[in-house]
């Protein structure tokens, strides 16, 4: 578990590890600040704390933890994720029963901890997308994901060039699958996300930390996944979102553009009707209606990230010494 900042901020996630039954063979925490004796209260007896000298990102931190581990299976958990008591048992059973699977991951559950509107929306979106995803996965998620040590070491672990939280887990999954190994999305392996989302956090994450780097990764590998946030519905929704903006801008000069705006808006809603129906069941119709503008912004960011990522990919082709994680 990589932890940025004081350990007490991750107390809920740490206590969830302490409540695992059966317990993990070992529990390794990678921290970038000093740890006090009080911070260790209530943690499993086999907890080990290792320090990184500065904030170097979760990729480097996870590699440092993996280097210390003795287990044949590495289970990664984020510091803002509360796992369920049977997680170890589930992971062991799944991997023992599927020897051809090199890695697996789960998803957030449908009970986000933070009650704010944006936090509920974002975490429920993550849950819904993963529940609709293909079980034969082409990426990986380190919020709650396990990898056999053999596969992890064969591909060299997480890429440390990702010096900030980004797509380091997605990129690792692509390399694992690229070697012919198999990754599974286990839809009922779930955990509670504690993160409080803000408008700034959403815009920064979707565009800079995930969207642009993922576009560059797709273009460099010349192969795009067809599920999760890149399925047909997502691509058509992105087109619809940009059509809404373009036609709305033209409407004062071209009245017929108003009908295009209306049609594109209806198309966006219909394309995502299953998601809005899910939100209605979970939080009510008013909540679902309130997410529509934010969902439109999400698709606008997807399109903008694709455009900017493509430009940066072209820059990389002209200057191949640049880091793809820059």
For residue range 24-39, list pLDDT tens digits in order.
Answer: 999 999 988 777 777 7
Could you tell me if 267 and 138 lie in one domain? no
For residue range 192-202, list pLDDT tens digits in order.
Answer: 999 999 999 99
DSSP state, 73?
E
Could you tell me if 218 and 316 lie in one domain? yes
- Taking every pair of Cα atoms in the chain, the longest distance, rounded to a whole number of angstroms, is 70
Last residue within a domain, chosen from 196, 231, 264: 196
Query: Peptide bond preceding 77: is omega within 30 degrees of 0, i.e. cis?
Result: no
Range 236-241 average pLDDT: 94
Question: What is the pLDDT at residue 226?
Answer: 60
Last residue within a domain, chosen from 181, 196, 211: 196
For residue range 291-313, list pLDDT tens digits in order.
Answer: 999 999 999 999 999 999 999 99
Could you tell me if 94 and 226 lie in one domain? no
The tokens describing 296, both together, are: 């439109």
Could you tell me if 220 and 206 lie in one domain? yes
Could you tell me if 36 and 160 lie in one domain? yes
For residue range 137-188, list pLDDT tens digits in order.
Answer: 989 999 999 999 999 999 999 999 998 889 999 999 999 999 999 999 999 9
Could you tell me if 14 and 46 lie in one domain? yes
Residue 191 maps to which CATH number? Answer: 3.90.550.10
Could you tell me if 170 and 304 lie in one domain? no
Could you tell me if 146 and 216 lie in one domain? no
Of the pLDDT bands very low, low, confident and very high (cuts 50, 70, 90), residue 57 is confident
Could you tell me if 50 and 181 lie in one domain? yes
Could you tell me if 150 and 299 lie in one domain? no
How many domains are contained in the chain?
2
Residue 325 lies in domain: 198-326
DSSP state, 33?
S
Task: Look at 220 and 33; give whichever has higher pLDDT.
Answer: 220
Q: What is the mean pLDDT of the chain?
A: 91
For residue range 249-270, list pLDDT tens digits in order.
Answer: 999 999 899 999 999 999 999 9
Q: Give the dihedral of Cα atoms 243, 291, 131, 325; nearest 10 deg.
A: 60
The tokens describing 209, both together, are: 């930390």
Question: What is the pLDDT at residue 8?
Answer: 81
Q: Tell whether the model's pLDDT for residue 55 goes beyond 80.
A: no
Could you tell me if 190 and 206 lie in one domain? no
Last residue within a domain, chosen from 196, 223, 258: 196
Question: What is the pLDDT at residue 231?
Answer: 79
Residue 87 and residue 93: Cα distance in Å, rounded? 10
CB atoms within 10 A of CB 174: 22
Could you tell me if 139 and 180 lie in one domain? yes
Residue 154 and residue 324: Cα distance in Å, rounded? 21
Of the pLDDT bands very low, low, confident and very high (cuts 50, 70, 90), residue 240 is very high
Range 112-116 average pLDDT: 95
Question: What is the pLDDT at residue 325?
Answer: 53
Residue 72 and residue 74: Cα distance in Å, rounded? 7
Q: Give the dihedral of Cα atoms 155, 156, 161, 166; nearest 10 deg.
A: 60
Which of 84, 77, 80, 92 shows the shortest CA–CA distance to 25?
A: 92
């Amino acid at each position: 578990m990589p932890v940025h900042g004081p350990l007490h901020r991750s107390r809920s996630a740490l206590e969830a590890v302490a409540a695992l039954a059966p317990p993990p063979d070992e529990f390794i925490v990678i921290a970038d600040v000093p740890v006090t004796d009080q911070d260790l209260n209530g943690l499993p007896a086999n907890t080990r704390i290792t320090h990184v000298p500065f904030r170097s990102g979760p990729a480097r931190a996870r590699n440092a933890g993996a280097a210390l581990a003795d287990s044949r299976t590495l289970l990664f958990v984020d510091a803002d994720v509360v796992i369920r008591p049977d997680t170890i048992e589930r992971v062991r059973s799944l991997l023992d029963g599927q020897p051809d699977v090199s890695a697996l991951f789960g998803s957030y559950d449908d009970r986000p901890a933070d009650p704010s509107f944006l936090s509920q929306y974002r975490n429920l979106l993550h849950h819904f997308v993963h529940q609709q995803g293909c079980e034969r996965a082409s990426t990986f998620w380190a919020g709650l994901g396990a990898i056999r040590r053999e596969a992890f070491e064969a591909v060299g672990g997480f890429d440390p060039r990702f010096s900030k939280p980004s797509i380091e887990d997605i990129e690792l999954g692509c390399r694992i699958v690229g070697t012919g190994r198999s990754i599974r999305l286990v839809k009922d392996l779930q955990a509670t996300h504690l993160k409080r989302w803000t408008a700034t956090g959403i815009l920064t994450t979707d565009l800079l930390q995930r969207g642009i780097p993922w576009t560059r990764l797709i273009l460099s590998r010349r192969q795009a996944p067809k599920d999760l946030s890149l399925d047909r519905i997502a691509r058509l929704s992105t087109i619809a979102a940009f059509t809404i903006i373009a036609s709305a801008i033209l409407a004062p000069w071209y009245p017929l553009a108003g009908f295009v705006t209306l049609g594109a808006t209806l198309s966006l809603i219909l394309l995502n009707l299953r998601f809005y129906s899910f939100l209605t069941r979970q939080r009510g119709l008013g909540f679902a209606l309130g997410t529509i503008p934010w969902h439109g912004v999400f698709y606008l960011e997807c399109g903008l990230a694709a455009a900017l990522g493509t430009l940066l990919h072209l820059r990389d082709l002209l200057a191949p010494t640049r880091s793809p994680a820059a």
